[in-house]
Amino acid sequence: MAKLSPDFFTMDDFDLEEKTVYLRLDINSPINPITGEIIGISRFLSHTETISTLRHSKVVLVGHQSRPGKDDFTTLEHHSRQLQRIIGRKITFVDELYSSSARGAISSMAEGEIIMLENSRFYSEETDIPGDDIERMEQSNFVKRLEPLFDYFVIDAFPAIHRSQTSLVGFHRLKPNIAGKLVEKEVIMLDRFRFGKENPKFAILAGSKIDDSIKVSRSFLDLDTVTGIITGGVVGNIFLWASGKDIGKKNRDFIMKNNKNHESLLEICRNILRDHPGKIIMPMDAVLSPSGKRVSMDDKIPDDETIADIGLETIAKYSEIIESAGAIFMNGPMGIYEIPEYSVGTREVITALASSDALKIAGGGHTLSALEHLGLMKRMDHASTGGGALISYLSGEPMPVLEALRESKRIFKGKVNGK
């Protein structure tokens, strides 16, 4: 079994009081295109423990919002105000990243002060340097002008750990880079699901993002991470289609329209079903829209109907499996849960999950939204902040930020004064 303790520096390894600390957050959030208002505060909340731990430090916050060319690519000024309201401490916003005024503000900080710098992706040195060119990052103005001002670099941007960008990895060979509380918790909890002894172990993969779910399904089963995978939503539909079920023209068209690579995804699903017989657990019945009819998946689905939810037989089967589990990971709703008449499957599966004694980990925006709506978030052992990073990590892909943190520990272990 893989080691569950982190192999990088954590905040418990150093005395950070009175030190000047660079804190890389991920507060990238949905933005109302009309009002510019930030929608949702979950990512802000995820960093409060790290910020609280640094209450006696001089803290400089670095983050990003969206990327060039997107409508929500904007300043972090509103983000600084939002975070200030959440933590109840003053945050001074500086609309520069490494200008003389920004450096002057950092140099004149007192213990307990917090500064937030401008959106790092406003600068080409963040977005244009190849991820494998650490030397070029180290020679950038971004790194050369900021690195001398800091004692430590705390990286807490878990949703971005699959990105190799200057603000995330560019300093790791120059000063100790430390995992923040969020990154530490995410890695420990996700590794506990991947490598822990709890059995049987199931993943619930549903929703409409089939590419990610298929990738995780293959990885989980090839590596024998899980006993089985429960499917729903469009994820369930593509596996049903791959298994030879007639899911109806409207459902096939949805998959084809939203996935240009649908033919290759279908082939991957067929291979998974062939290589891991009985491991992909698919809906046995469904609720259709607009008719509201309940049908068996052994029947041909009418071409003008959408599979909108799992049926009662499937709910009963899935609930039984969940009750037997020792560990469960859930990502994605069972159907069009936003519409009340098609929310039963998602509600019942989440309720069964919340009632389980298993290790319970949830991820994905729709899953967390449903948990919050049902008031069951606190029943989870862990709610992951990651999107693409979560899928990539669970799939066993290399994580550039974690690799940088590990290398930083190898470089600076024994060379710095810890606690």
Is 384 marked as binding a ligand?
no
Let me know whether 43 and 137 are in one domain.
yes
Is 27 marked as binding a ligand?
yes
pTM attached to this predicted model: 0.90
Residue 48 covered by a domain: yes
Is 366 marked as binding a ligand?
yes
Q: What is the pLDDT of residue 418?
A: 54
Is 367 marked as binding a ligand?
yes
> Exposed, middle or buried by CB within 10 Å (0-12, 13-18, 19+), for 163?
buried
Residue 117 covered by a domain: yes
Q: What is the pLDDT of residue 1?
A: 40
Let me know whether 249 and 116 are in one domain.
no
Let me know whether 19 and 163 are in one domain.
yes
Closest CA to 200 of 381, 330, 320, 325: 325
Q: What is the pLDDT of residue 368?
A: 86
Is 162 marked as binding a ligand?
no
Let me know whether 256 and 314 are in one domain.
yes
Is 65 marked as binding a ligand?
yes
Residue 370 covered by a domain: no
Let me know whether 236 and 95 are in one domain.
no
- Domain holding 212, by residue range, is 199-357
Q: What is the pLDDT of residue 2?
A: 46
Residue 319 covered by a domain: yes
- CA–CA separation, 237 and 89 (whole Å): 48
Residue 76 covered by a domain: yes
3-state secondary structure of 412: helix
Q: Following DSSP, what letter does each residue of 122-188 receive, concatenated? A: GSHHHHSS-TT-HHHHHTSHHHHHHGGG-SEEEE--GGGTT---HHHHTTTTTS-EEE-HHHHHHHH
Is 66 marked as binding a ligand?
yes
Q: How many domains, in total, are found in the chain?
A: 2
Residue 385 covered by a domain: no
Is 365 marked as binding a ligand?
yes
Is 85 marked as binding a ligand?
no
What's the CATH code of the domain at 239? 3.40.50.1260
Is 43 marked as binding a ligand?
yes
3-state secondary structure of 372: helix
- CA–CA separation, 120 and 75 (whole Å): 9
Collect the ranges in the chain with pLDDT lower than 50.
Answer: 1-3
Is 406 marked as binding a ligand?
no
- CA–CA separation, 315 and 310 (whole Å): 7
Is 121 marked as binding a ligand?
yes
Let me know whether 150 and 268 are in one domain.
no
Q: Following DSSP, what letter does each residue of 101-125 receive, concatenated? A: HHHHHHHT--TT-EEE---GGGSHH
Q: What is the DSSP letter of 273?
A: H
Is 103 marked as binding a ligand?
no
